[in-house]
Amino acid sequence: MRAMLFDGPGKPLRMADVPIPEPGPGQVQVRVHACGVCRTDLHVVDGELPDPKLPLVLGHQVVGHVTALGEGVSGFSPGDRVGIPWLGWTCGECRYCRSGRENLCDRARFTGYHLDGGFAEFTVVDHRYAFPIPGDYPDLQAAPLLCAGLIGYRSYRFTGDAETIGFYGFGAAAHIICQVARYEGKRVFAFVRPGDERGAAFAREMGAEWAGGSDEPSPEPLDAAILFAPVGALLPKALRDVRKGGRVVCGGIYMSDIPSFPYEILWEEREVVSVANLTRQDGIEFLALAPKVPVRTKPVPYPLEKAGQALDDLRAGRFDGAAVVVVNEDLLVG
């Protein structure tokens, strides 16, 4: 099968012909249709996440159909359409797994990091972490739901009953969760790169009440903020923007260093929390909610051999919405 392989930081992705992976016990084999491109892929490529499997097939927002079942798998049949997220395996035994916090599993394995992902024609996945995809979502629309949507949703839920929410960074996750927030009657304020008028217009198009540069003060105090951009310097800014008792949620797996800041902007019971990974319950809830909103993603397609270009374009902010690597090239038509 064709696969784009990552050999280590500083090395470009390369196309290779590799064996089709066979499903082991508890796994399903999936023929990949499309795979979303995530900023976490950049963190792997840039060496900011240590010790990836090498060589590695990146990609953890996978949509495809089941082609074979491993020993002991039930609940799936060949032909079923499924999605594969970032969290790809958990032990089920540690204190976190036993307390409903599998996202913090001591031995967790992640798709497109420890396990081969979706920048290939086939992949395999633990059947526990294969989610049925709502039938009315085209593959390209569905792919960004699997990480941008799921981890964005978990971050959003951490804002609790906040009525005014600031989104710092407005890319794949924010453009999905903004729709969810507006559906639930929340007011969204979007903070984009300074001078990025295109990004601000996109945020308003997606439902943000206000959009401006991240160097601008919020037009009014916020109940909560979500940092989607992995920029540590935005955390003190967000703390200044939230009202007393407000919460700042750090939604990424990696962030640049947070500068020191005066205690006064944390005082008055403001909180800073981080979000790690996702749980299967997040997947069940979000994939049931998305069609009700209905969430509509803005996919930007790239053929499999251009996966490296998709990563470069994401790093440079050359598009709005979510890049999707298309493995089934029929999806590129139109």
Q: Is residue 303 part of a domain?
A: yes
Average pLDDT estimate for 251-272: 96
Q: Are residues 311 and 270 in the same domain?
A: no
For 78, the token pair is 């060949």
Res. 333: pLDDT tops 60:
no
Fill in the amino acid letter for 63.
V
User: Domain with 107 in it: what CATH number?
Assistant: 3.90.180.10
Average pLDDT estimate for 283-293: 95
Q: Is residue 292 part of a domain?
A: no
Q: What does the pLDDT look like over 143-154, one tens digit per residue?
A: 999 999 999 999
Cβ atoms of residues 177 and 167 within 8 Å? yes
Range of the domain at 10: 2-145+298-332
H or E element in which residue 87 lies: strand 87-89
H or E element in which residue 326 lies: strand 322-326
Cβ atoms of residues 300 and 324 within 8 Å? yes
Q: Are residues 123 and 160 in the same domain?
A: no
- pTM for this structure? 0.92
Q: Is residue 111 part of a domain?
A: yes
CA distance 190 to 230: 15
Q: Are residues 131 and 31 in the same domain?
A: yes
The count of residues in the chain is 334
Q: Are residues 117 and 180 in the same domain?
A: no
CA distance 13 to 264: 46
DSSP structure string for 46-82: TTSS----SSEE----EEEEEEEE-TT--S--TT-EE
Q: What pLDDT shows up at residue 329?
A: 73
Q: What does the pLDDT look like over 181-236, one tens digit per residue?
A: 999 999 999 999 999 999 999 999 999 999 999 999 999 999 999 999 999 999 99
CA 245 and chain centroid, separation = 28
Q: Are residues 118 and 251 in the same domain?
A: no
Q: Are residues 19 and 78 in the same domain?
A: yes
Q: What does the pLDDT look like over 12-32, one tens digit per residue?
A: 999 999 999 999 999 999 999
Average pLDDT estimate for 63-78: 96
The mean predicted confidence, pLDDT, of the chain is 96
CA distance 155 to 187: 16
Q: Are residues 114 and 127 in the same domain?
A: yes
User: Domain with 168 in it: what CATH number?
Assistant: 3.40.50.720
H or E element in which residue 166 lies: strand 164-168
Q: Are residues 188 and 56 in the same domain?
A: no
Query: Is residue 330 very low, low, confident or very high in pLDDT (cuts 50, 70, 90)?
Result: confident
DSSP 8-state class, residue 213: E
Count up the domains in the chain and report the number.
Answer: 2
Query: Is residue 328 very low, low, confident or very high in pLDDT (cuts 50, 70, 90)?
Result: confident
Q: Are residues 200 and 221 in the same domain?
A: yes
Fill in the amino acid letter for 82.
V
Q: What does the pLDDT look like over 158-180, one tens digit per residue?
A: 999 999 999 999 999 999 999 99
H or E element in which residue 197 lies: helix 197-205
For 100, the token pair is 């409903």
Q: Are residues 8 and 135 in the same domain?
A: yes
